[in-house]
Amino acid sequence: MATMARTNTGLAYPDRFYAAASYAGFGGSPNSANKDVASKFSNEVALILYALYQQATVGPCNVPKPSPWSPVEQRKWKSWQQLGNMVSAEAMRLFVKILEEEDPGWYSRTSNSVESVRDVQMNHNSNGEPIIENGNSFAETKTISAENGSLMEAQDKDIVLEGLGPVVVYDQWVSPPIKGQRPKARYEHGAAVVQDKMYIYGGNHNGRYLSDLNVLDLRSWTWSKVEASIESKSEESPSPVNIAPCAGHSLIPWENKLLSIAGHTKDPSETIQIKAFDLQTGTWSILKTYGKAPVSRGGQSVTLVGSTLVIFGGQDAKRTLLNDLHILDLETMTWDDFDAVGVPPSPRSDHAAAVHAERYLLIFGGGSHATCFNDLHVLDLQAMEWSRPTQQGEIPSPRAGHAGVTVGENWFIVGGGDNKSGASETVVLNMSTLVWSVVTSVEGRVPLASEGLSLVVGSISGEDILVSFGGYNGRYNNEVNVLKPSHKSTLQSKMMEAPAPDSVSAVRNATNPTRDLESDFEVGQEGKIREIVVDNNDSERMKSKGEETSELIIATLKAEKEELESSLNKEKLQSLQLREELTQAETRNTDLYKELQSIRGQLAAEQSRCFKLEVDVAELRQKLQTMETLQKELELLQRQKAASEQASLNAKQRQGSGGVWGWLAGSPPQNADDA
């Protein structure tokens, strides 16, 4: 490689830019870059450096606008877009200039390591033999072209990973030298990486649900068990919090917590619970949520998109398969469910999900009670529309219980099975082109061909690594395997986690190029950048203008920061007022509930008295009917008596009349006995 021209302050461009970017925290894995940049600079400066780094390495912003659910990502996207068509060379110089203003001694602190690497590259012989420096062997490297036309370096031979000890290669699984007490073998556990530490929580071992929390230091490869405590009471109930053992849950890092979402338990709750482990206090708690929570389940997918969790599918406690879609806003802890248009995936569990460009949710594979799938579905989170695109390349076999992680625009899938055998291939999907390819394969019944294993992405020496743990393939596993992928992270995925100002409207006007640089990149036949010829006078002018533009940018952003802080204070005040109103409403609700209970008690007493009155009325009605009957009988007897008396009177009258006429006729009177 030809020697590049140097300026009087050290490395020449673009080497100086790449050294500055590496020092600032760019160029490694997205997670490590985010933390480095956020820790070294203020939010405003970090935003400017991010936008200039994207402009210098990728070019003008042409990626889709992020989802409105992720305002932070929208601000980063907007800051990059407002740089317009600024040329790469100017973005590089402005990046270095701002870094020198923020940290004047950055180059002196990194010059030794930069020069060492540079000397190794220049002294590399043409025969491709390893270079020996300070007793260390550096393997030969080669440059390969990426699909988007940019260059990326890949190791051609063996390399040594920090802390791994044994020699490994790209795209091959290896077992690191593990120290410490390994966790119990398991599958269907949760795994997450926070600050170079992999946390493992819960899982299933021999049909028993687990609740232990273990951590693996990815720098020393040492296991340790986390002695966690439980909060004595939660926001919902003064009774002790019950953190039940679980499996089939999802573990998501959020702020300074690990969130355990859903999962199967021995005594399942009616709805999904959100358990939180505070990494600072070492305590478990159950978070209170609002809205209609989804039914409890396990084997679902949980994807973090900005500040929201997207939950899809799974299997409930009655073994009913689901394909519903729910969203939890982590800022307000409010649930919401969506009915997206289009044809959703069929009900399933133990599938994999990933998000691309903060907009598209991808669902792959999974299983039902009868079969396993290898279909791919995409949900547009802005249009809320399902689609089933055509897959290309080496499409994976049907599987469930697999694990996946994203590195840039590449989605790596490991393990899984079809209830007959485990999937031996480690595959990767380019989420931009939807082309599958096989990374590597394993042979035999090994943990990497298991169901229910976990897969996370970590970083060693600024490069991404995939770390798998556990699984079940006829036996329970607790092995750790590591793969260093040659598929590099896309630059657009390297975004900072620190909050950024809402607007950088002055960046575009302040940094819009008004001159043509009298320097050019001479590109050789292999596409490598060889030399930059810089005109010193133009460089001085650029330096002066760069100072002006950077000062203007910082002043503008500071003003906007003050406006945002004012708006934030207003929002906080409004939020406080709303919380007070909510507290008052809850108090009123409690009083009304008590009053309702009192009224219900009074109503029950009145109903009882009413029932007794109805019984008395029924008895009185019966007596009244009896009296009416007696009255009728009395009237009948009275009529009979009257008739009898009338008949007796008539008889007497007839007797008196017969005696007179008989006497006149000479008849003798009759005795009373004869009559």
pLDDT for 545 equals 53
Residue 348, token pair as written in the block: 């399933």
pLDDT for 399 equals 97
pLDDT for 140 equals 34
Residues 376, 363: contact at Cβ < 8 Å?
yes
Residue type, 337: D
**Could you give the residue range(s) of every CATH 1.20.80.10 domain in the chain?**
14-103
For residue range 445-458, list pLDDT tens digits in order. 899 999 999 999 99
Residue 237, token pair as written in the block: 């109930």
Q: What is the distance between the alpha carbons of residues 426 and 430, in angstroms, rounded to a whole number?
A: 14
For residue range 71-123, list pLDDT tens digits in order. 778 788 888 888 888 888 888 888 888 888 888 777 776 654 444 434 333 33
pLDDT for 511 equals 32
Q: What superfamily in CATH does domain 172-233+242-490 come from? A: Kelch-type beta propeller (2.120.10.80)
Residue 469: closest CA among 486, 452, 444:
452
Residues 58, 26: contact at Cβ < 8 Å?
no
| Mean pLDDT, residues 17-23 | 86
Q: What is the distance between the alpha carbons of residues 184 and 478, in angstroms, rounded to a whole number?
A: 6
Task: For tokens 């073998």, name the residue.
Answer: 185
pLDDT exceeds 60 at position 44:
yes
Task: For tokens 């956020």, name the residue.
Answer: 38
**Could you give the residue range(s) of every CATH 2.120.10.80 domain in the chain?**
172-233+242-490
| Mean pLDDT, residues 272-288 | 95
In b/e form, how buried is each residue of 114-129, taking b as 16+ CB within 10 angstroms?
beeebeeeeebeeeee
More confident residue, 597 or 508: 597
Residue 169, token pair as written in the block: 């290669």
Percent of the chain beyond pLDDT 70?
74
pLDDT for 461 equals 79
For residue range 334-363, list pLDDT tens digits in order. 999 888 999 999 999 999 999 999 999 999
pLDDT exceeds 60 at position 165:
no
pLDDT for 240 equals 63
Q: What is the distance between the alpha carbons of residues 576 and 565, in angstroms, rounded to a whole number?
A: 16
pLDDT for 338 equals 83
| Mean pLDDT, residues 175-196 | 96
Residues 245, 321: contact at Cβ < 8 Å?
no
Mean pLDDT over the full length of the chain:
79
| Mean pLDDT, residues 301-324 | 96
Task: For tokens 């009275």, name the residue.
Answer: 638
CATH code, 14-103: 1.20.80.10
pLDDT for 476 equals 95
Region of 320 please: left (phi>0), alpha (psi -120 to 50) or beta.
beta
Least confident of 196-205, 409-418, 434-443, 510-519: 510-519
Least confident of 24-28, 595-599, 634-638: 24-28
pLDDT exceeds 70 at position 224:
yes
